Amino acid sequence: MAKPLILINLKTYKEGMGSRAHAIATAAQLVASESGVTVGIAPSYIDLHPLAKHFMVPVYAQHVDGAAPGAHTGQITAEALRVAGASGSLVNHSERRLTLADIEASVRALQAQKLGSVVCTNNDITSAAAAALAPEYVAIEPPELIGSGVSVSKANPEIIRKSVAAVHAVNTSVKVLTGAGIQSGECVKIALDLGTDGVLLASSVVKAEDPKTVLRDLASKI
Amino acid sequence: MAKPLILINLKTYKEGMGSRAHAIATAAQLVASESGVTVGIAPSYIDLHPLAKHFMVPVYAQHVDGAAPGAHTGQITAEALRVAGASGSLVNHSERRLTLADIEASVRALQAQKLGSVVCTNNDITSAAAAALAPEYVAIEPPELIGSGVSVSKANPEIIRKSVAAVHAVNTSVKVLTGAGIQSGECVKIALDLGTDGVLLASSVVKAEDPKTVLRDLASKI
Amino acid sequence: MAKPLILINLKTYKEGMGSRAHAIATAAQLVASESGVTVGIAPSYIDLHPLAKHFMVPVYAQHVDGAAPGAHTGQITAEALRVAGASGSLVNHSERRLTLADIEASVRALQAQKLGSVVCTNNDITSAAAAALAPEYVAIEPPELIGSGVSVSKANPEIIRKSVAAVHAVNTSVKVLTGAGIQSGECVKIALDLGTDGVLLASSVVKAEDPKTVLRDLASKI
Amino acid sequence: MAKPLILINLKTYKEGMGSRAHAIATAAQLVASESGVTVGIAPSYIDLHPLAKHFMVPVYAQHVDGAAPGAHTGQITAEALRVAGASGSLVNHSERRLTLADIEASVRALQAQKLGSVVCTNNDITSAAAAALAPEYVAIEPPELIGSGVSVSKANPEIIRKSVAAVHAVNTSVKVLTGAGIQSGECVKIALDLGTDGVLLASSVVKAEDPKTVLRDLASKI
């Protein structure tokens, strides 16, 4: 199995902007080097270029449009992400849903720039559909766990297991992230035990007083 | 193989409303009985109930929302379609794109009402993704053929063949329609030879002076 | 002042479909004739034509697209509404938001068919913007009142007063509806006292065991 | 009258990214200082911060979301724009249409950060509606002129004049930009003669071999 990934979505949280984004990236880099776990961050578009330049951790965009450069006001191209030094992008996050045609175009556009893609999904069936697009990762976010503060282990571990099976039934080389219900190292361990290759999480790191301590805990049982 | 399907999308064409919709349904019923081919129609929501009541041909909605009945102004539920006598619905037509989560919810909602689903897609990869949702049909509409007046046989038969293969690699029980590039019985024959189970078409029937003649030609080489 | 309007949005409530829609229309017609108040209904697209044919009350669609008839799968044209016998349409309901360009196109399309338009808005500023489009009505739905069960009189009557003023500052001939916070005849009286020309409401009538009794109460203090 | 504004939308053009964006900003700054005209640029989100820091010209985002900082993956907040040093943002560009509620929220969010707003519209009626939101500018983009290469003076000067009148009938303090049909200094002169306060343009500067020469021409007749 590839090295597990802990991917932190900074969203547009006030606690994830500007100097705070740098502090989280610093913590991510430190914990990655201490633990050997890959810790990535997905900051706002505006912080993406400086963070990608100043840190060794993978930096993902939170969204990308599938269109080639051109007359597309207000969009983000995969080409612009590559030039900015990004490692890839989230695609179809639950807070930024896309049409199926656009998800596919975004994954293709990222691949054409040799960038990774993390396609977010809401259940095992849409996870299987996403797997057919051959992204780097599918991140399953069960709606009942999003922002709930409930651990995936307590709520509904079965949906994670079913999603992993559904993804691999379509494409065995697509990796899976547990995209909600992660608060602690124990949750991360359960996520990996359920067959996923890492976790996607947000507020528990971004809003933490000390992100380093939270990240150390998250990486502690891998 | 199941009986081939010729499905006519009336869109919001002036020539597909009201009494014209009845004339097309009459022609569809006649040609179906003459030829043994299944000929379905997808009229506007407003014409759906009377057409489903007065004709024997399958009547599909042009779109359905995945939500259960409730506080959803301006939406169409699968339950309402069933009550109206519909056989199913188009989902994610190129003129009415949906998010992946909504496509899945729509297919599920139709299944829960024992209604058919025709999920429209734009290439072989999104066709594979749609197949993971286990709809009744995937209708592949290559963008370069939509409304082009060019026959699928001349433009790009390969994309149809690849889409059929991609769909069946994910789910062998999903049927495929050729969703663009159909003008004649010869085109229908090619569509079936390419491995699809029927065709989805619109203007060449709806805008025809005599839809019956066009439909007879479409069914003539099956 | 024109005769006040009580407009009932049936949404996709189970209790507002098929025979239930007919029962509500029957109650609307009865209470309208008893009270002299105009009572309109906004049923699903599928029930629109039979209700418009069988009842004397104004029947509104819940949504309309601005495009002319043509290649627009899954859309509803103003022309189709007119042919079905509708009096007009809701536009931009909080559950079916549109772009500004589409709101304007919808109002224009309705006007071209000599149909009424009820443009829904969320505050006094968007109400003023909607007034610039010269619809028949602007229906202000303060987000904090939608589906709250709280009376507009208790929650925030000021937003209604400000919206009426804002609408009339832009266009004095546009009428205003209070679009949320209406449960009783007392609420309707307050809505009219605040300067609006009627009310738009949904669940308190549609989900009532006996819609006639609720409607009689709503019309009782006008 | 305020100093005229020439605002250049870099879209996602390949010729408007990275070092090319810096070259255009350099030209904008030079021509602004030579001519006394205000020349602003609207780069991609990724280039926004470095351009705002290194150049004196106003830098606008191409889009902003109205939501406050929080759980909004893939969005851009007005707060993030202010922190990055932006002067304001385009809102509702024809390539990035928003709902009326979102346009209003975006203008409010920009105002709360003391940032300017340029709300794009498609005709005189939607321009009046936009004026009700009290943005800094309304930029009218007649659809038939967008990307047409046709000068506004030859195509339809009347729509510009009517839009200016419609905007000022609602709110006299809102300024207006001619948002399409600008290729030369002569076009800019006509735009100002028609009563607008400047121009919004894109490809004729961004795709020019030498943007400085084009900008000098654009500013030459003011």
**For residues A24-35, average pLDDT:** 97
**C46–B45 CB contact, under 8 Å:** yes
C93 is known as an active-site residue: yes
Q: Does B85 touch chain C if contact means CB atoms closer than 8 Å? A: no
Residue D119 phi/psi, 5-degree rounding, is -90, 120
- Chain D residue numbers with beta carbons less than 8 Å from the beta carbon of A71 are 11-13, 95, 147, 202-203
- Point out the residue among A9, A72, A79 whose CB comes nearest to the CB of D73: A9
Which residues contact residue D157 at a Cβ distance below 8 angstroms, ignoring those fewer than 6 apart?
A: D190, D194
- Point out the residue among C98, C123, C132 whose CB comes nearest to the CB of D129: C132
Question: Which pLDDT score, from 0 to 100, does residue D149 have?
Answer: 78
Nearest to A170 by CA among B169, B101, B104, B125: B169
Q: Does A170 touch chain B if contact means CB atoms closer than 8 Å? A: yes
Cα–Cα dist A107/A75, whole Å: 15
Cα–Cα dist B33/B10, whole Å: 21
pLDDT tens string D116-126: 999 999 999 99
Whether the pLDDT of residue A60 is over 60: the answer is yes
Question: Which pLDDT score, from 0 to 100, does residue D1 have?
Answer: 53
Question: Which pLDDT score, from 0 to 100, does residue C181 have?
Answer: 87
CB A220 within 8 A of CB A6: no
Scored b (16 or more CB within 10 A) or e, C43-57 reads bbbbbbbbbbeebeb
Task: Please report the domains of chain B, with CATH numbers, ordered by start residue.
Answer: 5-219 (3.20.20.70)
Cα–Cα dist D52/D55, whole Å: 6
- Chain C and chain D share a number of CB contacts under 8 A equal to 75
pLDDT tens string C54-103: 999 999 999 999 999 999 999 999 999 999 999 999 999 999 999 999 99
**B63–C83 CB contact, under 8 Å:** no
Whether the pLDDT of residue B194 is over 80: the answer is yes
Cα–Cα dist D1/D5, whole Å: 11
Whether the pLDDT of residue C124 is over 70: the answer is yes
Sign of the torsion angle spanned by Cα atoms D110, D111, D114, D117? positive
Sign of the torsion angle spanned by Cα atoms B191, B196, B202, B205? positive
Whether the pLDDT of residue A214 is over 80: the answer is yes
pLDDT band at D84 (very low <50, low <70, confident <90, very high): very high
Whether the pLDDT of residue B153 is over 80: the answer is no
Q: Does D89 touch chain C if contact means CB atoms closer than 8 Å? A: no
Q: Which two tokens stand for residue D74?
A: 């893939």
**D95–A77 CB contact, under 8 Å:** no
What does the mean pLDDT of chain B come to?
A: 95
Per the model's pLDDT, the better-predicted residue between B205 and D156 turns out to be B205
Residues 119-138 of C with CB under 8 A from B: none
Q: What is the pTM of this model?
A: 0.96
**A19, A41, A46, A63: best mutation site toward chain D, by most D Cβ within 10 Å?**
A46
- Chain D residue numbers with beta carbons less than 8 Å from the beta carbon of A50 are 49
Q: Which chains touch B (3 or more CB pairs under 8 A)?
A: A, C
Radius of gyration of chain D (CA): 16
Q: Does C166 touch chain D if contact means CB atoms closer than 8 Å? A: yes
**D99–C98 CB contact, under 8 Å:** yes
Q: Tell me if there are at least 3 CB pairs under 8 Å linking chains C and B.
A: yes
How does DSSP assign C99-165, residue by residue?
BHHHHHHHHHHHHHTT-EEEEEESSHHHHHHHHTT--SEEEE--TTTTT----HHHH-HHHHHHHHH
Lowest model confidence (mean pLDDT) among A134-143, A154-163, B3-12, D189-198: A154-163
Whether the pLDDT of residue B1 is over 60: the answer is no
Q: Which two tokens stand for residue B81?
A: 């379609």
Cα–Cα dist B75/C17, whole Å: 13
Q: Does B13 touch chain C if contact means CB atoms closer than 8 Å? A: yes
Q: Which two tokens stand for residue C30?
A: 């009865």
Nearest to B44 by CA among C80, A32, C33, C189: C80
The position carrying tokens 């549609």 is C206
Question: Which pLDDT score, from 0 to 100, does residue A157 have?
Answer: 87
pLDDT band at A1 (very low <50, low <70, confident <90, very high): low
Q: Which chains touch D (3 or more CB pairs under 8 A)?
A: A, C
pLDDT tens string C191-220: 999 999 999 999 999 999 999 999 999 999
- Of the residues B63, B104, B136, B141, only one is catalytic, namely B141
Polymer length in residues for chain B: 222
Per the model's pLDDT, the better-predicted residue between D155 and B159 turns out to be B159
Question: Which pLDDT score, from 0 to 100, does residue B146 have?
Answer: 77
**For residues C30-53, average pLDDT:** 97
B141 is known as an active-site residue: yes
Whether the pLDDT of residue D76 is over 80: the answer is yes
Q: Tell me if there are at least 3 CB pairs under 8 Å linking chains A and D.
A: yes
What does the mean pLDDT of chain D come to?
A: 95
Lowest model confidence (mean pLDDT) among A53-67, B150-164, C42-56: B150-164
Whether the pLDDT of residue B91 is over 80: the answer is yes
Whether the pLDDT of residue C1 is over 60: the answer is no
**C71–B13 CB contact, under 8 Å:** yes
- Point out the residue among D9, D49, D65 whose CB comes nearest to the CB of A73: D9
**For residues B60-89, average pLDDT:** 97
pLDDT band at A97 (very low <50, low <70, confident <90, very high): very high
